[in-house]
Structure 1
Amino acid sequence: MTDVDVAVVGAGVAGLTAAYELGKAGREARVFEAADVVGGRMTTLREDGYLIDTCAEQMAERGYEETWRLLAELGVDPAAAPPIGRGIAMWRGRARPGVAQTRGLVTGAGLSLRARLDAARLLRGTFDIERPEHSRLGEATVAEFAAPHHPDLLDYLLQPVVSGFFGWDPARSAAAPLLALLTAVGPPPTWRAYRDGMDTFARALAAKTDVTTGFPVDEIVDDGSSARVRGGAWEISARAVVLAVPAPVAARLHPRHGSAFLRECSFTPVVKAHLLLDRPLGGPDYALVVPTAENGTVSTVIFDHLKHPGRAPEGRGLVTLMAHPAVVPELLEASDEAVASRLTGAAEPLVPGLGSATRRAIVRRVRHALPEATPRALASRSGFEAGLGRGVVDYAGDWVFLSPCSEAAVRSGVRAALRLAVRPAKERAR
């Protein structure tokens, strides 16, 4: 006798998608989430009239087919995620607009002419976002990929982008997943943000699924035909389990997985300071990426009030500072006051008046923020994928495709549900 048919561990969009799709296929799924809210890395904090996206900042209208399909099924109007309509600037002595846009080939966007020509040539072609290991780039790191070209390509484009949005180290992280994502999502002005916070999608999915929050899971015990989900004094038996948590957490919860990919699939931590301002600052671009050579403490400045006017009360502003990967390890252990002071001070030359405009700072630390596509993880990914669906425990998350975006998480949830849904009926009845 089992307590549940399918136990889904993790109420991020991967786990919620898996549970929703399993329900459509006639299987009963229950989601268990350690936090008190759903969304995982797509949660939104609501404070004093501010909408603060704690991890994910935007989505795309291109390359997000499964996301848009599900939003339509859930009755979420596309107007709930309007285009941001603004671009990204690169800091090189000053903010230089046009990053990842055609106009950047003309204006420079911080790049020399030679580097612009290199970038235009190298970003041509098709890359498989679900199977980045099949790319012609092989297992080259971002730094290795850029090495034969003008130094600006790495220093004033690739490094600021991978560090500023993913928290990656270009000397450790593989180039193929990066280029697959960049070529799939289109230019920044077409990117979108949910009007009512980035948790909009997760909340819509949760309304259609059975979710238990405040339920931390400590261990998954798999006997080959069923599983036991243990958390504190609780134990629940299940015919199948979907682990929809970051890879390092999945490896800890189910240590007998035997997967080289899970052992190699590391995640980068992120530290952010969300500054609640008494007036709007910045513009016209909604984000500013900052090369290591120009700062080294702040990697990205996001003007959240420019993503959508509802992110801050009228006449006020909201700015998010993302720490540079080099300083994240020490900031993970520092006090909130120390983090806010250090990041705000480092960002003052980038955004004059930031310190005096700040009414309050909210610091967020995400220890497993984004999957780090190292060459070793890339080399073992296809073997891991080939083995999915053969055991009691399955997996979902953006890391399954080594693609740091919510669409990858959604696709992985759809695939996990499909694998479980097609299992023979007699296997389910055991």
Structure 2
Amino acid sequence: MSGDLDVAIVGAGIGGLALAHTLRPTGRSVRVFEAAEQVGGRMTSVREDGYTIDTGAEQISGRGYPQTWRLLAELGVDPVAVPKVRAGVGVWRNGRAHPGVADPRGLLTGAGLSWRARLDLVRLMATGASRAGADTVAEFAGRYHPDIGEYLLQPVTGGFFGWRPEHSAVAPFLDLLRRVGPASGWRTYRDGMDTLARLLAEGLDVVTGCPVRKVVARDGFATLTTDAGPVTARTVVLCLPAPQARALYANPPARELPYLTASTYTPMLKVSCLLDRPLAPRRAGRLYCLLLPEREDGVLGGILVDHAKHPDRAPPGRGLLTLLAAPRAIPGLLDAPEEEVVGTLTGAAARYVPGLRAATISAHSHRFRHGLPEATPLALRLQPAFLRRPPSPVEYAGDWILARPNSEAAIESALLAAQRIQAACPRTRRRETA
């Protein structure tokens, strides 16, 4: 595997694959190295006995994802293969589910908010984003009725991002809501959330099952160390969460360290329950996601009804649920034995889903130590200087670059990395082997 490349990409998540796809027409030699046996990263899906299990990301949006939709069009994907989720998002309060979360209709249904809180929600929607500043989610919530923090901001950011309100900045969250619009416009991939990753990988040089142990920048090139031997490249791009990139990169420039260090991640932990019948949380109506505020439950952050998200996620007559661990419960479970993790989350879920244990055929946990970028106020302050850094033999891509926790940000960061590579080396030039 030794030999020179123009570009070596570390990580076959959606960012790394989008970068390789973007560089392919330029004539550069590009290879993607992935430690796992499959592509997709946090958008990986697993197939088992007719079930399609999304281990990480759950949905995209019909708007606010222009680069994702551009890639899908380039690959010939019919929009029919990315249908709308026909069920909504609700929040649990006082013993029942309240629909309308992340949707304007929540102002009418209540979405778990009191009347006074709904009035504050109107105020938030009208002027909140412009007043966010460098506030954390908790600081921002403190400006409004307590329900806004406890039954909207905390369950949404905690359930979908694993964020801790006192650590994460609210501005990226509000910006993301503005971009993607209401939950009624959210979509999922019919054939699993790894659809785009699998299609991109088909036309690329991707080596799976090949962990990279170290990356060292040299004068005008970089070397990466793999179990199969060293590889040199004019540019190495670390398409990994910032903490992993920092651990792998042996000699990063001092000017890059502040933002790398500040770009922390929250862990994510999920348990998939393969069911012999299509169960759903009681009194939840037509929901595919039930968010559980910390005020109501300290173990679970949410329950996803995958067979309501898309019927093909489970065989006919069967069901599939995903249990999301609450952010504050994850540290104690992340390294726990499988039996303990599954037992803890399914035990907590039995309160909302009667008959869950009897209907469960099998259950599996999915753990991401680096789940989603935390987007702290410190990281936001350091981000502009990081984006202005000069080109280097080692570049980066990932959602943390833009401090937005979604796959669209990962793709956009890949386009930025491609622009930096092409600006530094406008024509393909192969370095002679040392």
Shorter-chain TM-score: what band?
Answer: over 0.9
SS in structure 1 of the partner of residue 287 of structure 2: coil
Alignment of 1:29-428 (within 5 A): 29-92=30-93, 93-124=95-126, 136-257=131-252, 258=254, 259=256, 260-282=258-280, 283-387=285-389, 390-425=391-426, 428=429
Letter in 2 for 1:171: E
For residue 412 of structure 1, report the CA deviation from its aligned partner. Answer: 0.7
CA distance, structure 2, for counterparts of residue 107 and residue 126 of structure 1: 21
Letter in 1 for 2:336: A
CA deviations 1:203-261 (Å, max 9, x no partner) are: 11111211011110011110131000112351000001111011000011114223201
CA distance, structure 1, for counterparts of residue 221 and residue 60 of structure 2: 37
For residue 137 of structure 1, report the CA deviation from its aligned partner. Answer: 2.1
Letter in 2 for 1:276: L
SS in structure 2 of the partner of residue 56 of structure 1: coil
For residue 111 of structure 1, report the CA deviation from its aligned partner. Answer: 0.4
Letter in 2 for 1:269: P
Letter in 1 for 2:275: L
For residue 120 of structure 1, report the CA deviation from its aligned partner. Answer: 2.1
SS in structure 1 of the partner of residue 388 of structure 2: helix
CA deviations 1:333-388 (Å, max 9, x no partner) are: 2111111111111111222222221111011111111111111111111111111x
Letter in 1 for 2:175: A
SS in structure 2 of the partner of residue 340 of structure 1: helix
TM-score, reference length from structure 1: 0.95
User: 1:23 — aligned with what?
Assistant: 24
Does the 8 Å CA contact 1:123/1:183 hold for their aligned counterparts? Answer: no
For residue 419 of structure 1, report the CA deviation from its aligned partner. Answer: 1.6
Q: State how many pairs are aligned.
A: 422
**Compared with structure 1, are the counterparts of its residues 143 and 210 closer, same or farther at alpha carbon in structure 2 (3 Å cutoff)?**
same
**Compared with structure 1, are the counterparts of its residues 3 and 178 closer, same or farther at alpha carbon in structure 2 (3 Å cutoff)?**
same
Letter in 2 for 1:234: G
TM-score, reference length from structure 2: 0.94
SS in structure 1 of the partner of residue 175 of structure 2: helix
Letter in 1 for 2:214: E
CA distance, structure 2, for counterparts of residue 341 and residue 126 of structure 1: 40
Letter in 2 for 1:19: A
For residue 425 of structure 1, report the CA deviation from its aligned partner. Answer: 4.4
SS in structure 2 of the partner of residue 123 of structure 1: helix
**Compared with structure 1, are the counterparts of its residues 126 and 23 closer, same or farther at alpha carbon in structure 2 (3 Å cutoff)?**
farther
Does the 8 Å CA contact 2:4/2:430 hold for their aligned counterparts? Answer: no
For residue 125 of structure 1, report the CA deviation from its aligned partner. Answer: 5.7
SS in structure 2 of the partner of residue 422 of structure 1: helix
Stretch deviating more after TM superposition (361-370 or 224-233)? 224-233
CA distance, structure 1, for counterparts of residue 261 and residue 117 of structure 2: 37
Letter in 2 for 1:108: G
CA distance, structure 2, for counterparts of residue 357 and residue 189 of structure 1: 30
**Compared with structure 1, are the counterparts of its residues 2 and 138 closer, same or farther at alpha carbon in structure 2 (3 Å cutoff)?**
farther
For residue 24 of structure 1, report the CA deviation from its aligned partner. Answer: 2.0
Identity of aligned residues (%): 53
**Compared with structure 1, are the counterparts of its residues 107 and 425 closer, same or farther at alpha carbon in structure 2 (3 Å cutoff)?**
closer
Letter in 2 for 1:278: D
Unaligned runs of 5+ in 2: none
Letter in 2 for 1:153: I
CA distance, structure 1, for counterparts of residue 430 and residue 198 of structure 2: 31
CA distance, structure 2, for counterparts of residue 294 and residue 381 of structure 1: 36
CA deviations 1:58-85 (Å, max 9, x no partner) are: 1001100000001100111111111012
User: 1:131 — aligned with what?
Assistant: none
SS in structure 1 of the partner of residue 216 of structure 2: strand
Does the 8 Å CA contact 1:224/1:391 hold for their aligned counterparts? Answer: no
CA RMSD of aligned residues (A): 1.6
CA distance, structure 1, for counterparts of residue 197 and residue 179 of structure 2: 23
CA deviations 1:180-207 (Å, max 9, x no partner) are: 1111111112111101100000011111
CA distance, structure 1, for counterparts of residue 315 and residue 407 of structure 2: 27
**Compared with structure 1, are the counterparts of its residues 99 and 236 closer, same or farther at alpha carbon in structure 2 (3 Å cutoff)?**
same
Stretch deviating more after TM superposition (20-29 or 75-84)? 20-29
Does the 8 Å CA contact 2:6/2:430 hold for their aligned counterparts? Answer: no
For residue 423 of structure 1, report the CA deviation from its aligned partner. Answer: 2.5
CA distance, structure 2, for counterparts of residue 38 and residue 48 of structure 1: 20
**Compared with structure 1, are the counterparts of its residues 126 and 82 closer, same or farther at alpha carbon in structure 2 (3 Å cutoff)?**
farther
CA distance, structure 1, for counterparts of residue 426 and residue 312 of structure 2: 49
**Compared with structure 1, are the counterparts of its residues 334 and 429 closer, same or farther at alpha carbon in structure 2 (3 Å cutoff)?**
closer
CA distance, structure 2, for counterparts of residue 345 and residue 40 of structure 1: 28
Unaligned runs of 5+ in 1: 128-134
SS in structure 2 of the partner of residue 36 of structure 1: coil
SS in structure 2 of the partner of residue 292 of structure 1: coil
For residue 33 of structure 1, report the CA deviation from its aligned partner. Answer: 0.4
For residue 292 of structure 1, report the CA deviation from its aligned partner. Answer: 0.3
Letter in 2 for 1:338: E
CA distance, structure 1, for counterparts of residue 403 and residue 352 of structure 2: 32
For residue 289 of structure 1, report the CA deviation from its aligned partner. Answer: 0.3
For residue 2 of structure 1, report the CA deviation from its aligned partner. Answer: 5.5
SS in structure 2 of the partner of residue 139 of structure 1: coil
SS in structure 1 of the partner of residue 266 of structure 2: strand
